[in-house]
Amino acid sequence: MALKQSIVLAFFFVIYMAQGQRVAIMGAMDKEIEFLKSELENKKKIQKSGVTFFTGKLKNKRVVLFKSGVGKVNAAYCTAILVENFNVTSLIFTGVAGGLHPEIKPGDIVISNNLIQYDFGKLKNGEFEIWPTRNLKEKNNRNPLYLDVDPVLFKKSEKVSSRLKLKPFNNRLPKFYFGTIATGDNFISDTLKAKELNTKFNAIATEMEGAAVAQICTMLNLPYIIIRSCSDNANTKAQTDYLKFVEVAALNSAHMVLGLLEE
């Protein structure tokens, strides 16, 4: 009888856990999650450790949506708080970035296949050496220098990009790019630095949160993907372009997220 009761309890626990599973959607700023929040059905606001989460449904999928704030530390903290308080199956980061690829223009979407922290390492005699981060859950072993996104989510993103219809922007249709994103605690508005990141790391975009999220997700075995729409080209006009194009760029990224949820 005790064995039968245990099996029944286990069965209902599995059902309960499955029903509680959600896809996490994360942005650094209000503008990056604003449209998705407006589309959220059965929206409920939940506060956890200083972070505001919104639960509900998007494209008939149970989701938890939240803003991390700008920078690697905020992004890592919020990812940890997320996993501690919600039963999530995967994480999608949505937002804007500075384009580094010579052909990228504002409005274009970058989907990462891997990410690197370009500002973590050692500076000696004017030379900066990049260090890989460490995985605290695996005997403090080093993580890969380039952190790979979830291959299933990446393949789905490729599929969505082939059919997703984005609105024309500046008299052109936005394009999709796939590749490395370079993350650091700097807003890049410097043509030489942008060229260096592109050349040294083969990075096609730069931003301030992605690789930190990737590090936490890697340690916690949480599948993730980073989606960015370019608001600027990380050059001397970046600040002006960012203010001009951030809303359009954020909206393009949000539509990509909705397409991925449908997939």
List the catalytic residues. Answer: 32, 232
The percent helix, strand, coil of the chain (3-state, each to 5) is 40, 35, 30
Q: What does each C-alpha distance from 141 to 11, 132, 134, 135, 211 come to in angstroms?
A: 37, 10, 5, 5, 17
Q: Under a CB-based contact definition with an 8 Å cutoff, are residues 232 and 116 in contact?
A: no
Q: Under a CB-based contact definition with an 8 Å cutoff, are residues 150 and 24 in contact?
A: no
Residue that the structure tokens 């397409």 belong to: 259
Continuous segment of H or E residues that includes residue 143: none
